[in-house]
Structure 1
Amino acid sequence: MDVLNPIYTEKAACQDCYKCVRQCSVKAIRVENGRAAVVKDLCVLCGHCVEVCPVGAKKVRSDLGRARKLIASGKRVIASLAPSFASEFPGIDLDRMTAALTRLGFWAVSETAWGADLVARAVAQQLQTAPQGTILVSSACPTVVDYITKYRPAFADRITSLASPLMAQARELHRLYGDDCAIVFIGPCISKKQEADEHSQDIAVAIDFEDLRTWFTEEKIMLPLIQPNSEARLIPERAGKGALYPVDGGMIAAIKSWNVPAQVKFMSFSGIEEIERALDELEEALDQGELQEPLFLELLACPGGCVNGPRTKKRTGTIRKRLSVLEYGQNRLAGAVAQSLTDTATVLYQQWTTKPVTPGPCSEQELAEALRRTGKYSREDELNCGGCGYDTCRDFARAMLAGKAEPDMCVSYMRKLAQKKANGLIRAIPSGVVIVDARLTIVECNQNFARILGEEALQLWEAKPGLEGASLEKLFPFYRYFQDVLDGAEAIDRDIRFNNRILHTTIFGIERGAYAGGVFQDVTAPWVQKDRVVSQARKVITRNLAVVQKIAFLLGENAAETEATLNSIIESFEKSEGNS
């Protein structure tokens, strides 16, 4: 496990399905020896690969142990509680959750939504003075920021120069309560773990809702039975409209509560694929000069918003989740945050650095050579089936050149390769071989089988090698043996007379009721007769040796008994003489 990477692969569990490759929006997966691993520098930590892995080979780093040690150290540890807890733990209000976290040992609890209020107000301030044609992209989602700075660097300068709500909150809490306190984030996000890794001076640890559930279970804390108490601290105050951030459009609602000019346009997009399409269209609109009024884009990596984060219990459905968040955020006031913008300017500022992911140079000749490695010699060979996880064969070839993919990932290539090997083996066998399906239609046969059938069948085989699609009933009178095996009979092994030949016949099932195979050896052929004579001679020798060994054993056994008897008589004789 890479301690620095929040997502890792248990290689022993990975089973060559390539589902993570297919589902990864940015293709941040490298396959080596059939095992798929996340490439940290390419990954945006959306967590989708963890969700879709059918065997659970993709894992999320647990930081629960670090959080426990932090509390055990005696420090004042503050829990930054993501507002999406309202949808993750329905029926548990803020006071009850604060009391439960206090039972775990936290010194105090603070709403991450409180930091969202700081960010919302700062964005509103920027929009109040934004010139015509200004485009601002939200910085609230670390995965989106990572995606844009890596894969859409042309929009990197459009991201607001503001910290994420968590970062803003953490910095402000340190300013209010001292640098010796520690912040532990609790939420549905994997990318917050990386945010904590990169800004450890502000955020000590980030755990997710699954970690929190484990913690509650180990400490035998049952949330429905927890009662609010006066010892639980909620600092520095209750959040305002920032509580709506977990649902798409929630950030926009929070920003609008701060008197934004009417001409500003707002749009919300969630899910990496939808964001990609939106940015494509935005690029076209900018090129054509279609945008005149200021535009703010709320972009969230998870479809539907943070309520469907990768570390939520159920990452589907949003109606109940939205209702929970809306109820949690109702009656919240925009003016709940009392600090002035001047006081928090340093806390909120964040400069984003582009780190574009650029594919390595790839010539047409190199691409053609990579395609040939998977049996693709022309455009017609490029099926673009997507079985490897890539949209096109050429994308797959580029991935191979980049060291992210292997030829064995191409399903059609491996199928053709297996079929060629099987066909080559069948055709090299000196006996006649045929495979038929449930309708007794020939799937494959070799030339020796056609030769056994006769001159007419041999001519057909030469015109169409393999005789695929031909009816065995019309070519071979003993087709009923195949039918018996298809119906469930045991393998048939017998000699039959056909076309003045004696054929040693073995008919066996390949897949019950679906496919059967037959091997026919012409025992009248000179080489077969010689082979059968040698074989029979070996059997006779083996049997004779067994008999000889048995006789020797019996003789040896009788000799031993005779010797024992004679010795007994001699001893008796000697004793008799001595007594006399």
Structure 2
Amino acid sequence: MGQLIVTDKDKCNLSYTCVRVCPAKAIKIADKYAQILPDRCIGCGQCVTMCAQQAIQYRSDIEIVKSLIGQNDKVAAICDPAISGEFTDVADYRKFVAMIREIGFDIVTEMSFAVDLVAYKYKDLVDSFQGKHYITTKCPPVVSYIEKQEPELVENLAPIVPPYIAMAKIIHKRYGDDVKIVYLTACTAAKDEKKQFYHTDGHIDGVLTFVELRQLFAQKGITEKTVEFSEFDPPLGRKGGLFPISHGLFQAVDINQGLLEGDIIITEGRTNFLQSIKEFKQENQLNQHLDLFYCKGCIQGPGTSQGGKKFTRRSQVIKYVNKRMKAIDAYQWRLDIEEFKTLDLNRNFKSKDIRLPIPSKEQIDAVLADMGKSKQEDQLGCGACGYPSCREFAVAHLQGLTDYEQCYTFSIKKLRSYVNKVNASNEKYRKTQEALVISEEKARVEEKLAREAAETTTAMLNKLRAGVVIVDEGLNVIEANERFVEMIGDDAREIAEVVPGLKGAELKSLVDFHKVFASVLQSGQDVLERDVEFANSIINVSVFTIKRHEIVGGIIRDLITPEVRKEEVIKRARDVIKENLETVQQIAFLLGESASKTEKTLNSIIEAQQLGEKHGSGK
């Protein structure tokens, strides 16, 4: 069947966004791309939705569904109620029901009836409270996370099947056990969770996300204009249609949780989910049941179309349920509830503890020291690596999930070490300068070589994906790469067309964070990893000394869409220094002095030498 979520290494640009959003440490950076660790993955799909390069994808069941439809057995579709929020472009729900039938499904049902049935089970659990608090198990990523990452809470998982499995049980009871079932949903984790029910009366044969469903419509040329109205097959649900919205499950049985009398905490979204679990397992912190969605409700699940508006989808679901409530036969609904309330909706859970060992403080401190982060103030973390703090990054490194190159500040410091070597070479250059002025011709040759080297460096800087700018003590630009010009806007581009590299331009007229450069020039103290707002974006600025109180360099990086490949920057710096140290020395000199200053200095040295010779001959 294959791994649920995989990465296309050719598309991965190592932005680390996936690492940042993964709650299960299920992503490892290796071989220069982000690798999904299937045993740790909980199938939440956040890495899929957050990857701007679309390098991460979930497993498709389209071919499985086509195969099922091509067989002789009847095939039923279970529609997650979130479908009304997904297909906001379809005027009437009866149209997308008909479109689903047109694919080849013999039976098209809605999960809302199963939600009604399951909600009564939860109501019984709450009403018969005997001191034990439960966590709802309607959301597959929530269950998977607790089994793998919080195994001590497995006993607190409500022993109730998710609604789509309950609906599968209903279909098998009413339409026959040989009916094949496909679940249409916003959830990617259900693709793997269904395997736990293979040998039960709730077995499901395939799971299609709404995105995959749209792909099937497109492949078969099905639109709302090509079909007539069609209704869902019974049994039909009532308020269970609110399931995709936070609090919708308990709304189905009219449990309205007020702030004073309520005993259920209802929340959604990755951050709230993790925080609620953290507090729930702390004794006497949360003495309430938890009703959780890992996503921001099913209406925002990873299997929905990108760019959907949460509150528009929410209002569509509510509008749909209101419309359905007016049309549904309440008497028939009660008969259906009576018919199916004896179904076994219980389930069991087991610990799958895959927590990684926590390194000792000594081990963590050793890694931080290797990274040059021994001081507490250096361990706050910029978040660019995907981890919230340097200490957590060090833990992940010891657990085999990261390498040092993933740390942006480590790479910057490594780059700075090369710059320091260039600065150190200035002293050696000054000692050899007398040899360069033996003849004016030789000086011209050396100047020409230096100019060529400077052009090479400019070309190299323009290859970098981070903005680079070097300024003198008056905040006048000595050198800037093309990425820096692009980042600061149209005015800079116009200047660069006239003056390449913005040479001589005033930094304070170009950017509003010039004070960072002024501060480093004045204090001589580097400023690293400072986040500032600029042009409706958040950028990360590192300013370091090239020549104390005279020249500083800045590296500017867009934190929202990280693009810099640090390996390439380090490799280029290493290659330039190793292959042509003399050229680097000249470049450092050229960065510190303009061409006119160079000529003036050389002439003054020649005159001083000639004057010394006259005095020497006088003796």
Per-residue deviation at 1:134? 4.1
SS at structure 2 position matched to 1:255: coil
User: 2:104 matched to 1:111?
Assistant: no
Return the match for 1:287 from 268, 281, 284: 284
Per-residue deviation at 1:422? 3.1
Contact 2:358/2:395, CA 8 A, preserved across alignment: no
Per the alignment, residue 508 of structure 2 pairs with none
Distance across 1 between alignment mates of 2:246 and 2:307: 15
Distance across 1 between alignment mates of 2:271 and 2:242: 23
* Most deviating of 398-407 and 424-433: 424-433
Per the alignment, residue 269 of structure 1 pairs with 267
SS at structure 2 position matched to 1:497: helix
Contact 1:172/1:344, CA 8 A, preserved across alignment: no
1:173-196 Cα shifts (integer Å, max 9, x gaps): 123222221110111111111123
Distance across 2 between alignment mates of 1:213 and 1:81: 13
Identity %: 26
The aligned runs of 1:510-549 (5 Å cut-off) are none
Per the alignment, residue 101 of structure 1 pairs with 100
Distance across 1 between alignment mates of 2:123 and 2:551: 77
1:55-76 Cα shifts (integer Å, max 9, x gaps): 1111121111111111112221
Per the alignment, residue 6 of structure 2 pairs with 8
Distance across 2 between alignment mates of 1:270 and 1:258: 17
Per the alignment, residue 399 of structure 2 pairs with 402
The alignment of Structure 1 onto Structure 2 pairs a total of residues equal to 461
The aligned runs of 1:141-156 (5 Å cut-off) are 141-156=139-154
Distance across 1 between alignment mates of 2:387 and 2:256: 45
Per-residue deviation at 1:368? 2.7
Distance across 1 between alignment mates of 2:590 and 2:410: 34
1:417-464 Cα shifts (integer Å, max 9, x gaps): 1111232245347535999944466999xxxxxxxxxxxxxxxx9xxx
Distance across 2 between alignment mates of 1:471 and 1:195: 59
Please give the root-mean-square deviation of Cα atoms over the aligned residues, in Å.
3.7
Distance across 1 between alignment mates of 2:305 and 2:35: 24
The aligned runs of 1:102-501 (5 Å cut-off) are 102-131=101-130, 133-201=131-199, 202-229=203-230, 234-256=232-254, 265-284=263-282, 286-287=283-284, 291=287, 295-303=288-296, 305-314=297-306, 317-330=309-322, 331-332=324-325, 336=333, 338-339=335-336, 344-345=341-342, 347-428=344-425, 430-432=428-430, 437-439=470-472, 467-470=547-550, 497-501=602-606
* Most deviating of 350-359 and 371-380: 371-380
Cα–Cα, structure 1 residues 128 and 198, in superposed 2: closer, same or farther, change >3 Å? closer
Contact 2:43/2:189, CA 8 A, preserved across alignment: yes
SS at structure 2 position matched to 1:136: coil
Unaligned runs of 5+ in 1: 445-460, 473-477, 486-491, 504-521, 523-580
1:274-302 Cα shifts (integer Å, max 9, x gaps): 12222344445x526x84xxx54321111
Distance across 2 between alignment mates of 1:339 and 1:479: 85
SS at structure 2 position matched to 1:55: coil
Cα–Cα, structure 1 residues 37 and 270, in superposed 2: closer, same or farther, change >3 Å? same
Distance across 2 between alignment mates of 1:471 and 1:18: 32
Contact 2:183/2:206, CA 8 A, preserved across alignment: yes
Contact 1:25/1:273, CA 8 A, preserved across alignment: no
Distance across 1 between alignment mates of 2:208 and 2:595: 63
SS at structure 2 position matched to 1:367: helix
Contact 1:188/1:306, CA 8 A, preserved across alignment: yes
Distance across 2 between alignment mates of 1:12 and 1:493: 47
1:11-42 Cα shifts (integer Å, max 9, x gaps): 11111211111222333211113311122222
Given residue 468 of structure 1, which amino acid in structure 2 is its aligned partner? R
Distance across 1 between alignment mates of 2:53 and 2:34: 12
Per the alignment, residue 554 of structure 1 pairs with none
Cα–Cα, structure 1 residues 44 and 384, in superposed 2: closer, same or farther, change >3 Å? same
* Most deviating of 333-342 and 10-19: 333-342
Distance across 2 between alignment mates of 1:341 and 1:195: 28
Per the alignment, residue 63 of structure 1 pairs with 61
Cα–Cα, structure 1 residues 315 and 40, in superposed 2: closer, same or farther, change >3 Å? farther
1:311-357 Cα shifts (integer Å, max 9, x gaps): 21245533221221112212536772535679555531111222234
Per-residue deviation at 1:225? 4.5
Distance across 1 between alignment mates of 2:264 and 2:117: 19
Contact 2:146/2:154, CA 8 A, preserved across alignment: yes
Of the two, which has the highest radius of gyration?
1
Cα–Cα, structure 1 residues 186 and 494, in superposed 2: closer, same or farther, change >3 Å? same
Per-residue deviation at 1:493? 9.8
Unaligned runs of 5+ in 2: 431-449, 458-468, 479-523, 525-544, 553-588, 610-619
Per-residue deviation at 1:197? 3.7
Contact 2:371/2:410, CA 8 A, preserved across alignment: yes
Contact 1:5/1:40, CA 8 A, preserved across alignment: yes
Distance across 2 between alignment mates of 1:329 and 1:92: 15
Distance across 2 between alignment mates of 1:165 and 1:272: 21
1:529-575 Cα shifts (integer Å, max 9, x gaps): xxxxxxxxxxxxxxxxxxxxxxxxxxxxxxxxxxxxxxxxxxxxxxx
1:456-502 Cα shifts (integer Å, max 9, x gaps): xxxxx9xxx96422379xxxxx99995679xxxxxx99797344249
* Most deviating of 208-217 and 196-205: 196-205
Contact 1:122/1:341, CA 8 A, preserved across alignment: no
Contact 1:115/1:166, CA 8 A, preserved across alignment: yes
Given residue 142 of structure 1, which amino acid in structure 2 is its aligned partner? P
Distance across 1 between alignment mates of 2:591 and 2:22: 52
Distance across 1 between alignment mates of 2:590 and 2:129: 84
Distance across 2 between alignment mates of 1:196 and 1:212: 18
Per the alignment, residue 537 of structure 1 pairs with none
Contact 1:92/1:224, CA 8 A, preserved across alignment: no
Per the alignment, residue 463 of structure 2 pairs with none
1:390-439 Cα shifts (integer Å, max 9, x gaps): 11211111111111101101111111111112322453475359999444
Given residue 99 of structure 2, which amino acid in structure 1 is its aligned partner? A
1:234-272 Cα shifts (integer Å, max 9, x gaps): 33321122111011111110132799xx97633310012
Cα–Cα, structure 1 residues 481 and 120, in superposed 2: closer, same or farther, change >3 Å? closer
Contact 1:495/1:502, CA 8 A, preserved across alignment: no
Distance across 2 between alignment mates of 1:178 and 1:502: 105
Per-residue deviation at 1:145? 1.3
Cα–Cα, structure 1 residues 224 and 482, in superposed 2: closer, same or farther, change >3 Å? farther
Cα–Cα, structure 1 residues 214 and 484, in superposed 2: closer, same or farther, change >3 Å? farther
Cα–Cα, structure 1 residues 78 and 471, in superposed 2: closer, same or farther, change >3 Å? closer
SS at structure 2 position matched to 1:338: helix
Cα–Cα, structure 1 residues 376 and 75, in superposed 2: closer, same or farther, change >3 Å? same
SS at structure 2 position matched to 1:137: coil
Distance across 2 between alignment mates of 1:326 and 1:480: 65
Per the alignment, residue 577 of structure 1 pairs with none
Cα–Cα, structure 1 residues 502 and 374, in superposed 2: closer, same or farther, change >3 Å? farther
Cα–Cα, structure 1 residues 187 and 495, in superposed 2: closer, same or farther, change >3 Å? same
Cα–Cα, structure 1 residues 437 and 308, in superposed 2: closer, same or farther, change >3 Å? closer
